[in-house]
Amino acid sequence: MPRKKPKSSDPVTLASLGLENYEVIEINRAELKGCPYNPRIITDAEKRKLKAGLQRHGLVAPITWNRRSGFIVGGHQRLASLDSLAGTGNYSLHVAAIDVDEGREKELVVLLNNAEAQGGWDLLGLKTLFGDKSLDLAGMGFDGADLFRLFGEDPTKQDEPDQLDELAAKVRGIAAKYDEIRTKNREKNREDFYLVVVFRNAIDLDDFTAAAGLPMNRYQSGAEIRRLCGLSERSSESNPATSYSSPAAIAL
């Protein structure tokens, strides 16, 4: 349907331009059905972060729901966390109701979760925000492992320079070691033969290595990781890249 051009005397709104296509309504939780082709996944650690954020702030943006199909289009993981926090699935909530066909619904299920269409971090600006001691790290959806992955250090611990410098040096040392390995194996035409796993803290690392039966070593073999995942190791004949050592790093 062609968009109606607003009269010059009418106030310009997104709705009048055809750019606001939802209605906020109150609905019972039981009417919201999970979308069967939702491609979004979430880890247990990410669930904990999301739940902590919702517990701190509450729901500040509505779930998106398609009237025509009854499926959730955006907000599956938030709704699951809300169920847990409420301790029941019997409640009402406000949603952004849309009315679209299946093709448009599938596009929106991807678009609303697509990091490729949502930009990235301005790391300098983000680091500046972390310097504000009044902000809660969990309230922003981060943990210590995220900070080291983004910055190679913990910008929230500026009052502990000695410890921070030591930890940051370890992370930079690992990166330098892999640069060296990558250079030596450049003739193999493969540069992505290692994996860096970042745990929330040292206790989490110790717990993982003990439960997995791994030695307390920063460098673990790809064969051990395959064993933990229940995967068989390819032979060097079928995969030439395995004809040399492929360590996987476990960092702080």
Structural domain boundaries in the chain: 23-117, 123-251
Cβ(195)–Cβ(243) below 8 Å: no
- pLDDT tens per residue, range 97-138: 999 999 999 999 999 989 889 888 898 899 899 888 899 988
Cβ(212)–Cβ(157) below 8 Å: no
Report the alpha-carbon distance of residue 197 to residue 194 in Å, rounded.
10
pTM listed for this prediction = 0.61
Task: Say yes or no to pLDDT of 154 above 70.
Answer: yes
pLDDT band at 188 (very low <50, low <70, confident <90, very high): low
For domain 23-117, the question of CATH label 3.30.1960.10 is answered with no
CA distances from 106 to 72, 109, 157 (A): 11, 5, 43
Report the alpha-carbon distance of residue 186 to residue 118 in Å, rounded.
34
156: its two tokens: 């929230």
Report the alpha-carbon distance of residue 149 to residue 174 in Å, rounded.
12
